[in-house]
């Protein structure tokens, strides 16, 4: 349970009340050292918290709160392989997947590294063969297109990383991601693919997710239609699986050699570091994939060793809690000023909301406070010309993360400076706003007649005080991307500890799945609709009238 009765929680509430009315403008004016006090640089990654509505006292109370929640102990339990995902009786060992050191992890007794290294070696051999044109399809041709079939954590992570690192992609190798059970997703792809040169990666930890299995079966039929009598021989040349269920993969027709194993201690939304990252290795090569792991490992080390005051995931998590639980923010925006980070907001939505979107604590009791805010986001440049109006003048408190890299991946003359100017301008405008006095002075300088000034003035004022964190990478390379993603993962972990949540289960997605299972035969007419609610019965009737099932 979050200890909302703890002195640290109460001190934060009192501190919030005392500092009501203090504007970010005041905080900056009062402290010429504010930027250096509230920013942390780590191996070229800069995180600036100075535009958050915090001061030294806020941080002190937040760190007290982390200590009250016994954060250091929980962190040790994570890294020592304790079964902290207690509702599924599982350890949470994604840090093992990016452990590149020699030796055992998490301990000599429970060492998972031999099997992790074995799968890494299997990924290396396979990806080198495919990338080198040595892995041949049923017609003897090399692979040109790779289609990852997966959903949720078996899609969002690798899809996002492949997009992020497209500047490092091997020319001539195209990566595609199919997740939607809507046949439009697969059908449109088939139009541009050649079965002789296409490789499917079926990624599903359980190998039973409806959307993924249906898409995988459709892809298998498409391949077999082309391979004809050669179908049985073609299947292992064009399909591999990433799963923890080798038996189900075998039932699909795949020999063990085509199966890349993951383990029950890898959560779906934390799995891109495992063989779920195979499309990443196929896209940028295994050396590039290991640079991604190395960056994440550097963040693991920082998270384990840095004092809370300078610990990036801890600070990010605590400031998020301040915004949600004390300032009352219901949402949090992710605003990348980087085209290659296009899929980061959806990845973070799953990471944060599937982990901490809960109202029941580890002890089974209702939480005494709200947990995760609603995470959303969009490429910043595009958002500026769409929804930023609301951030500036809509009156909602919307904390945001501004993310960019100093260098462009695909430089064209004259683009990077305007991109970065907008990136820096927006967080400053949101923080400091424009006072009535400033707005009036501008209108007067533009020689606007005084009667018009009076009517325009209310529209020209920006309240500001909108908090944001700015994150700058030197470049969106595999190493710094690994750091960035592990930073968010550990932030989610820290918040889960403070809210008293098990961040590693997701029972909330089950009800809809069960209901879909019941409604499927009703839609196809195999069963009636008795017992269903009135709305669903009427909707099924409507769908059956106009649809074709």
Rounded to whole angstroms, the Cα distance separating 438 from 443 reads 9
Coil, strand or helix at 433: coil
User: Would you say 197 and 213 are in contact if contact means Cβ atoms under 8 Å apart?
Assistant: no
Question: Judged by CB, which is closer to ligand F6P: 54, or 241?
Answer: 241
Strand partners, 46: 41, 472
Catalytic residue, chosen from 89, 101, 385, 459, is 385
Question: Judged by CB, which is closer to ligand F6P: 127, or 204?
Answer: 204
Give how far Cα 197 sits from Cα of 1, 137, 139, 168, 460, Å. Answer: 53, 6, 8, 22, 58
- DSSP strands (E only) in 407-527: 468-473
Active site residue 238: no
Alpha-carbon torsion angle 148, 153, 156, 157, nearest 10: -90
Rounded to whole angstroms, the Cα distance separating 232 from 235 reads 6
Rounded to whole angstroms, the Cα distance separating 76 from 72 reads 6
CB of 203 to ligand F6P, least distance (A): 6
CB of 509 to ligand F6P, least distance (A): 4
Rounded to whole angstroms, the Cα distance separating 161 from 484 reads 11
Rounded to whole angstroms, the Cα distance separating 25 from 148 reads 48
* One-character DSSP codes across 74-143: HHHHHHTT---BGGGTB---HHHHT--SSS-SS-STT--HHHHHHHHHHHHHHHHHHHTT-SB-TTSPBP
Coil, strand or helix at 240: strand
CB of 40 to ligand F6P, least distance (A): 31
Question: Judged by CB, which is closer to ligand F6P: 51, or 269?
Answer: 269
CB of 498 to ligand F6P, least distance (A): 22
CB of 119 to ligand F6P, least distance (A): 16
Question: Judged by CB, which is closer to ligand F6P: 347, or 402?
Answer: 347
Question: Judged by CB, which is closer to ligand F6P: 128, or 264?
Answer: 264
Residue nearest to ligand F6P (CB): 268
**45-48 and 468-473 as β-strands: parallel, antiparallel, unpaired?**
antiparallel
Vertex 206, ends 244 and 95: CA angle to 5°?
55
Catalytic residue, chosen from 290, 354, 480, 491, is 354
Question: Judged by CB, which is closer to ligand F6P: 203, or 318?
Answer: 203
Question: Judged by CB, which is closer to ligand F6P: 212, or 405?
Answer: 212
Active site residue 109: no
Rounded to whole angstroms, the Cα distance separating 86 from 88 reads 5
Query: Residue 498's CB: how many other CB atoms inside 10 A?
Result: 27
Query: Residue 135's CB: how many other CB atoms inside 10 A?
Result: 18
Active site residue 385: yes
Count Cβ atoms within 10 A of the Cβ of residue 488 and give its class: 0-12 exposed, 13-18 middle, 19 or more buried.
buried
| Residues near ligand F6P (CB under 6 A) | 151-154, 204-206, 209, 212, 268-269, 354, 506, 509
CB of 23 to ligand F6P, least distance (A): 41
CB of 208 to ligand F6P, least distance (A): 7
Rounded to whole angstroms, the Cα distance separating 351 from 377 reads 14
CB of 528 to ligand F6P, least distance (A): 28
Give, as one character, the DSSP assignment of residue 360: B
CB of 485 to ligand F6P, least distance (A): 15
Question: Judged by CB, which is closer to ligand F6P: 153, or 377?
Answer: 153
User: Would you say 176 and 482 are in contact if contact means Cβ atoms under 8 Å apart?
Assistant: no
Active site residues: 354, 385, 513
């Amino acid at each position: 349970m979050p200890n909302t009765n703890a002195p640290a929680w109460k001190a934060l509430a009192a501190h919030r009340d005392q500092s009501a009315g203090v504007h970010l403008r005041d905080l900056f004016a009062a402290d010429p050292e504010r930027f250096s006090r509230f920013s942390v640089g780590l191996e070229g990654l800069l995180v600036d918290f100075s535009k958050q509505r915090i001061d030294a006292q806020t941080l002190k109370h937040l760190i007290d709160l982390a200590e009250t929640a016994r954060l250091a102990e929980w962190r040790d339990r994570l890294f020592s392989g304790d079964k902290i995902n207690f509702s599924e009786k599982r350890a949470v060992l994604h840090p093992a997947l990016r452990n590149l050191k020699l030796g055992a992890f998490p301990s000599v007794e429970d060492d998972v590294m031999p099997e992790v290294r074995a799968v890494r070696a299997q990924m290396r051999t396979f990806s080198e063969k495919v990338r080198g044109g040595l892995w041949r399809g049923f017609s003897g041709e090399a692979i040109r297109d790779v289609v990852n079939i997966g959903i949720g954590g078996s899609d969002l992570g690798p899809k996002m990383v492949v997009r992020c690192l497209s500047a490092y992609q091997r020319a001539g190798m195209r990566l595609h991601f199919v997740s939607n059970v809507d046949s439009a997703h697969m059908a449109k792809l088939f139009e541009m693919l050649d079965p002789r040169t296409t490789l499917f990666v079926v990624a599903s930890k359980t190998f039973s997710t409806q959307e993924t299995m249906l898409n995988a079966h459709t892809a298998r039929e498409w391949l077999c239609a082309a391979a004809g009598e050669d179908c049985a021989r073609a299947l292992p040349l064009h399909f591999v699986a990433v799963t923890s269920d080798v038996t189900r993969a075998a039932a699909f027709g795949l020999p063990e050699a085509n199966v890349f194993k993951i383990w029950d201690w890898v959560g779906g939304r934390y799995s891109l570091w495992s063989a779920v990252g195979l499309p990443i290795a196929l896209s940028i090569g295994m050396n590039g994939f290991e640079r991604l792991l190395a960056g994440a490992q550097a963040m693991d080390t920082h998270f384990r060793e840095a004092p809370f005051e300078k610990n990036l995931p801890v600070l990010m998590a605590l400031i998020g809690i301040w915004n949600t639980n004390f300032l009352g923010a219901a949402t949090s925006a992710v605003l990348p000023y980087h085209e290659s980070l296009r899929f980061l907001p959806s990845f973070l939505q799953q990471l944060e909301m599937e982990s901490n979107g809960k109202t029941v604590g580890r002890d089974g009791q209702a939480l005494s406070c709200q947990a995760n805010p609603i995470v959303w986001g969009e490429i910043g440049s595009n958002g500026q010309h769409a929804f930023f109006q609301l951030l500036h003048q809509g009156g909602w408190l919307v904390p945001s993360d501004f993310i960019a890299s100093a260098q462009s991946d695909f430089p064209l003359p004259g683009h990077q400076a305007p991109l970065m100017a907008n990136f820096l301008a927006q967080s400053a405008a949101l923080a400091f706003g424009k006072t009535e006095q400033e707005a009036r002075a501008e209108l007067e300088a533009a020689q606007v007649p005084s009667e018009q000034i009076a009517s325009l003035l209310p529209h020209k004022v920006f309240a500001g005080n909108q908090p944001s964190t700015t994150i700058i990478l030197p470049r969106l390379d595999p190493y710094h991307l690994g750091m960035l993603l592990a930073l968010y993962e550990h932030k989610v972990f820290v918040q889960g500890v403070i809210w008293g949540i098990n961040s590693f289960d997701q029972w909330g997605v089950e009800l809809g799945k069960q209901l879909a299972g019941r409604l499927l035969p009703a839609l196809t007419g195999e069963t009636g609709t008795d017992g269903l609610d009135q709305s669903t019965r009427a909707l099924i009737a409507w769908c059956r009238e106009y649809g074709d099932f």
